[in-house]
Every structure is written in structure tokens, then in C-alpha cells.
Chains A and B, each alone.
Chain A
């Protein structure tokens, strides 16, 4: 099993079309191209999942991608399609593991601020980003999903509503609350440092 078709040769639509016709060699190119996005989506939606679980979920996403190839609408855009499959996979995992995570108390939220900062960043920026990352980690899951999709991934409100199967008002409310909580949770000192930095 090699890398399949050279990714620069075929478009996403062509690869999905081949997958729909049973040509699984297209999966290699699709994985190379879109696995980083799927990893990012799963990692952000499920910070409580372990690395092994995320690997399993990544497999689930691409098996689901294979299954969905016959009905892949050409105008969908692969980014949205992958995000949609990842969101559904994450939701299914959360529901399936609710008992284990909640009743057995094995669920531990891994704050987004736990990672090692980039070594080239100035110390102040690292501390501020960690503080923001911690604040994001404390947000309720549903608010965090909407916030990350909009403020980081750049999806519009309509796209988020479609991806997560929410009403517009729900998306708006969750985003507004997430923003306000973030502002309230990031310490005044950190905020003033940020604002002072901006003005320099």
C-alpha cells in the first residue's frame, strides 16, 4: 500500500469520484491532503481524548469518507466535508464514551495550554497564549466548538450551523457567550499587555 495517486495530479472531486467507483488507491492522496485538517478538527473538538483514541477516530473519519464518496456533492468543498464528518465522529464518540468518561470519572479535560510553546516565541507572548489557551479549555464544549470553527478556522455562521446541525440563533448565542467568557477569563493584566503590545 503506497501513497496512491500523486496528489498534485487529481482534484479532490476526481479522487472522491474514483473512491466512489471502488478505487481505494485514491484514499492515499486524500489522506495526505486532508489528514492534518481532520486531526486538527478532532483534536480541538475532543481535547479529552487520548492520542490512541484520536488515532482510532482518525481512522473512523477516513473510513466514513470512503463510505460517503458516492454521495459527495461536487459543490460541497472538501474542507467542509471533512469537518462535517469529523464533527459527527466526535459527537458519536462523546455519546458512546459518556458513561466511561462521566460515571467512571476517567474523563480529564486536557487544557489546551498544556502543550510546549514554540521556542522562538517571546516569553510574554507564550504566557499570554497559554492564558488564552487555558481560558479556551475551560469553555463548555459546545461553546468551544463554535468559537474555534469561527474565530480560528474561519467558517461563517451559516457553515457552522450546517456542520454542527444547529439553528442560527444557537450558533450566535454560543459564539457570543464564548467570546464574553474568554474576555472575562483572560486576566486583566494579560489583556492590558495584549492591548499595549498592539499599540506599539
Chain B
């Protein structure tokens, strides 16, 4: 094995850490030059070497037929199992009906009235691990969960996790349809898609959330509704409008006549869904918040796209989560860009990073040249710990300008490259650009120069590092960063 392996770093598989400044070293170092030449020659032949064994003899028609058979076979077995379960359930239900009849109780039996209705049962959960007496809901009955407890209900094989203080009603519960009407509060749904032939729907005022298979949460405060999806996808429909699909990891807010674009969920919101569905354990108190759509600049008075259907005229994409781009015809946009930026900046400061990012992404899809929005998005990603993405967003700002925003973006991106990503070559380039464009009185110049020197030292460019750090010590001696510069200089000597 060669002693010097720096040529490998020169051809690093991760662009973020590829060190192109090593080119000079590779050209000077005999070992690296030879190794790189050998590898380049081998790599050129590698594809053809490997392709020599790619002709695997496979009967494609047979494989495809077997794939179809396996899929169909599983569906048949599921249907057979379902019939067995229902037969067993019906037998149990008949036995229980006889039992309750003999007991002479006035309550409606837990067993379904007919073979089509689904069994309803529930329980209150007061503390983690503590369950109180069962709660037996009836179809059409208003249910309010006490503020000190949460509740968990079963509708057949579906599960509802209901937050403390929520109120709802099970309007329909049979094999063709399950319909839950939410008056207030939040409930999470775990839908067993094999249970019902038809829809599983939660109605929250004028908003309908219909399951297209899986785990989601609906929260309502008055006329404002928030939807979050943990698994699968749902359709959100506002009265008088089309539907908007929301997929796993997304959320949105809605009210009558308006639905926001889906935005990425932050982890706390997403965790609330499975936590509410569990029988035990604490539930995070924060989560998707119903709020007025005026807070979100991506509110649209236009109907959202139909998932998988015809493209609305004038809009340019028809994929889940995309923001329709056609002009709002029923009036001006609810929020101007500057008001939106101020609001989103507030969200970022408050830690509502998922919502801020969703709103910014939606805004930038319509206004890709908004440098201030790119800068805000970069800050949002930086706070979320997605440093590489943040650097890319800062690069957009640098490309778009204006000069002062680009300068600040260079500084911030340079710091990220140095501190978080270890990309010293890139840090040198960005901080160097900042220094070239900033005057001697620039507030951040001392810090930028010190960091510039630090990255140069990390790259082995000791001479340049010394010059930069010496300038810091001589010109900014009173600045705290001068102490850092002295420290690095001392290590270089």
C-alpha cells in the first residue's frame, strides 16, 4: 500500500468533502500521481469487466407471471383470512348478545347489530400506563374526552387516539364506511385498510380528510384545521374545492375555501401521531397547530390539483405537494412577500422550522429569484442541522445577489463549511470571496480573516495562513478573535 493516500481524497465519493486543492499535491507527489494514473486506467476498464457477467439467463415472461401470481395469491389469502375472522367475530358477537340479553342490561351490546356494522369500544388513559374504565361509544353519540385524560377507541380494527379535551362523534361505522366528525381537539387515526371496503373519513367542519391508506392526525380549533400524515397518504378536501393529497411526513392547514400547500413536518409534530395511538406512554404536547391561513403566504384560494388527474389549466406540475402556480383569480394574494418573510423569520426564531421551510419552499417555487427568501431558507436549514443543504441555499443567494446579501451569504456558508462540514477548501473560497468584497471596516472582517487563516492552515497552506492571521493580530489586536489568531499562529510555528 502506498504511503501517501491523498489521491483518494482528491477523488472522494462525496462532493462535499472532495478536496480539489489537492490537485497540486497529486501532481507533485510521485506516489499519488502513479496511483491515480493506475486507478484511472483500471476504472476505465472496470465497467466493461463487470458487464462481462451481466448476461444472467432469466426467463422474463416466467418471472413476470410468477410476480403476478404471488401478488394475486396474497390478495386471495387475505380475503380468506378476513372471511374467517368475520365468521369468528360474528359467532362471538352472537354469544355476547345472548350473554347481555340474559344480564338484562339496558346498554346497547358491544356486538355489532348486523354483520356489516363494526364493533365500537374504547378506554380512557389518565396517565402513562394507567387505564380507567372502558368507554363504550355509540354511533351518533357525542363524546367529549376529559382534559385530564386521553382516550383510545377501536372501530372494528381501526384505532383512534384522541387527545385530552377533544370532542367528536362516530357518525358511521360499518364495513362500507367509517365516518368520524371532529368538533374540537385532535385525534390520530390508524386505519386498517383491509377492514373496510369503503372510505375512512374524518370530518372537521367544512374540511374532510379521507384515508387513502394510513396514519394521520387532524387537529381543529374553531374553523381552522391542521392535518399531519405519519404514514401513507390522505386527501384533504375543503368544501366547494378540489382535493389536495398529503403524503407521509407532510402536513397542511385548511379552512373553508382554503387549503395550504403541504409542508414538511418537524419531528415533534410527526411523533405526536404514533404517541396518541399508543395505549401507554406520554404524548408530546406540541404538534400540528390549526391556525388562520393568513399566516401562511402559500394559502391558495384556487382549488388544489386533483391527485393523478387532469392538470389544472395554467399550472405546470401535478405531483403531490407541488404548489399550483396559476394566478389567483378571486382576489389579491393574502400576504405580501415582505410580510411573509417577516412571519417566516418569526417562525424560524420560534423553532417552527418545518412550517417555515414549507412556506419558503412554496414561495420560492413561485418566486425562484427571491434572494431574501433563499437566505431565510438557508438559515432555516442551518438551524435544522442540515448544513450541506444550507450551504447550497446560501450559494443561491450568492448567485442572485444583491452584493450585500451575497457577501453575508459567503460568510455564513464559509463558517458552515469550516465548522460543520470540514470542507476547508470551500471555506477558503467562500471566506476569500467575502474578504475580497468587504471593506476594512466591515464588522465581520476580523472573524472572516481568522477563519480564512484557520482553513488555510488546515489545508497545509501555511504561508498564506500566517499572512492572514498576522493581519488579524496587527490590525484587530483588541478584537477577541485576535487571541484565536495568535493561538493558530503559535501552532503553525
Cβ–Cβ < 8 Å partners of A128 in chain B: 45
| B66 CB-CB contact with A under 8 Å | yes
Cβ–Cβ < 8 Å partners of B58 in chain A: 35, 39, 51, 54-55, 58
Say yes or no: A113-B41 contact (C-beta < 8 A), given A17-B308, A59-B66, A70-B232: no
| B213 CB-CB contact with A under 8 Å | yes
In the bound complex, how far is the Cα of B55 from the Cα of A117, in angstroms? 11
The 6 closest A-B pairs by CB, nearest first: A157-B13, A157-B14, A194-B41, A133-B49, A129-B49, A115-B52
- Residue pair B70, A180 in contact (C-beta under 8 Å): no
- Residue pair B56, A66 in contact (C-beta under 8 Å): no
Q: Which residue of the partner chain B has the closest CB to A49?
A: B56
Cβ–Cβ < 8 Å partners of B320 in chain A: 74
Cβ–Cβ < 8 Å partners of A112 in chain B: 49-50, 52-53
User: Which of A24-32, A78-86, A89-97 binds B?
Assistant: A24-32
| A141 CB-CB contact with B under 8 Å | no
| B101 CB-CB contact with A under 8 Å | no
Cβ–Cβ < 8 Å partners of A13 in chain B: 319
Cβ–Cβ < 8 Å partners of B46 in chain A: 132, 136, 151-152
| B39 CB-CB contact with A under 8 Å | yes
- Residue pair B67, A66 in contact (C-beta under 8 Å): yes
| A195 CB-CB contact with B under 8 Å | yes
A-B contact pairs, 6 of them (CB 8 A): A51-B56, A112-B50, A132-B45, A152-B47, A179-B8, A191-B38
Cβ–Cβ < 8 Å partners of A182 in chain B: 39, 42
Beyond the given A31-B60, A130-B52, A180-B2, could you list 6 further A-B residue pairs with CB under 8 A, ordered by the A residue number? A55-B62, A70-B232, A113-B52, A182-B39, A183-B38, A186-B42
Kindly name the residue among B53, B62, B66 whose own CB sees the greatest number of chain A CB atoms within 10 A.
B53
Kindly name the residue among B2, B49, B52, B66 whose own CB sees the greatest number of chain A CB atoms within 10 A.
B49
In the bound complex, how far is the Cα of B233 from the Cα of A17, in angstroms? 12
In the bound complex, how far is the Cα of B414 from the Cα of A10, in angstroms? 44
- Residue pair B42, A129 in contact (C-beta under 8 Å): no
Contact digits for A133-164, partner B, Cβ 8 Å, 1 yes 0 no: 10010000000000010111000111010000
Q: Which residue of the partner chain A has the closest CB to B319?
A: A74
Cβ–Cβ < 8 Å partners of A31 in chain B: 60, 63-64, 67
| B302 CB-CB contact with A under 8 Å | no
| B65 CB-CB contact with A under 8 Å | yes
Interface residues of A in 42-91 (CB under 8 A from B): 42-44, 47, 51, 54-55, 58-59, 62-63, 66, 70-71, 73-74
- Residue pair B53, A114 in contact (C-beta under 8 Å): yes
Which size class do A's interface residues fall under?
35 or more
- Residue pair A47, B42 in contact (C-beta under 8 Å): no
Say yes or no: A158-B14 contact (C-beta < 8 A), given A132-B45, A152-B46, A179-B39: yes
Interface residues of B in 55-90 (CB under 8 A from A): 55-60, 62-68, 70-72
| B436 CB-CB contact with A under 8 Å | no
Cβ–Cβ < 8 Å partners of A114 in chain B: 53
- Residue pair A132, B56 in contact (C-beta under 8 Å): no
| B106 CB-CB contact with A under 8 Å | no
Say yes or no: A191-B42 contact (C-beta < 8 A), given A39-B54, A172-B12: yes
In the bound complex, how far is the Cα of B308 from the Cα of A142, in angstroms? 40
> Taking chain A's interface residues, is the majority helix, strand, or loop, or is none over half, making it mixed?
helix
- Residue pair B52, A129 in contact (C-beta under 8 Å): yes
Nearest chain B CB to A41 CB, angstrom units:
10
Kindly name the residue among A112, A157, A176, A183 whose own CB sees the greatest number of chain B CB atoms within 10 A.
A183
| A168 CB-CB contact with B under 8 Å | yes
Interface residues of B in 211-233 (CB under 8 A from A): 213-214, 231-233
In the bound complex, how far is the Cα of B13 from the Cα of A171, in angstroms? 8
Cβ–Cβ < 8 Å partners of A186 in chain B: 38, 42
- Residue pair B41, A1 in contact (C-beta under 8 Å): no
In the bound complex, how far is the Cα of B65 from the Cα of A44, in angstroms? 24
Cβ–Cβ < 8 Å partners of A150 in chain B: 13
| A184 CB-CB contact with B under 8 Å | yes
Cβ–Cβ < 8 Å partners of B14 in chain A: 156-158, 168, 171-172
Contact digits for B1-42, partner A, Cβ 8 Å, 1 yes 0 no: 110010010001111010000000000000000010111011
Cβ–Cβ < 8 Å partners of B487 in chain A: none
- Residue pair B52, A195 in contact (C-beta under 8 Å): no
| A8 CB-CB contact with B under 8 Å | no
Nearest chain B CB to A159 CB, angstrom units:
9
In the bound complex, how far is the Cα of B35 from the Cα of A195, in angstroms? 11
| B149 CB-CB contact with A under 8 Å | no
| B247 CB-CB contact with A under 8 Å | yes
Cβ–Cβ < 8 Å partners of B233 in chain A: 70
Identify which of A27, A47, A117, A172 contacts B13 (C-beta below 8 A).
Answer: A172
Cβ–Cβ < 8 Å partners of B72 in chain A: 24
| B330 CB-CB contact with A under 8 Å | no
Cβ–Cβ < 8 Å partners of A115 in chain B: 52-53, 55
Cβ–Cβ < 8 Å partners of A172 in chain B: 12-14, 17
Cβ–Cβ < 8 Å partners of A183 in chain B: 35, 38-39, 42
- Residue pair A35, B57 in contact (C-beta under 8 Å): no
Cβ–Cβ < 8 Å partners of A66 in chain B: 67, 71
- Residue pair A151, B232 in contact (C-beta under 8 Å): no
- Residue pair A28, B64 in contact (C-beta under 8 Å): yes
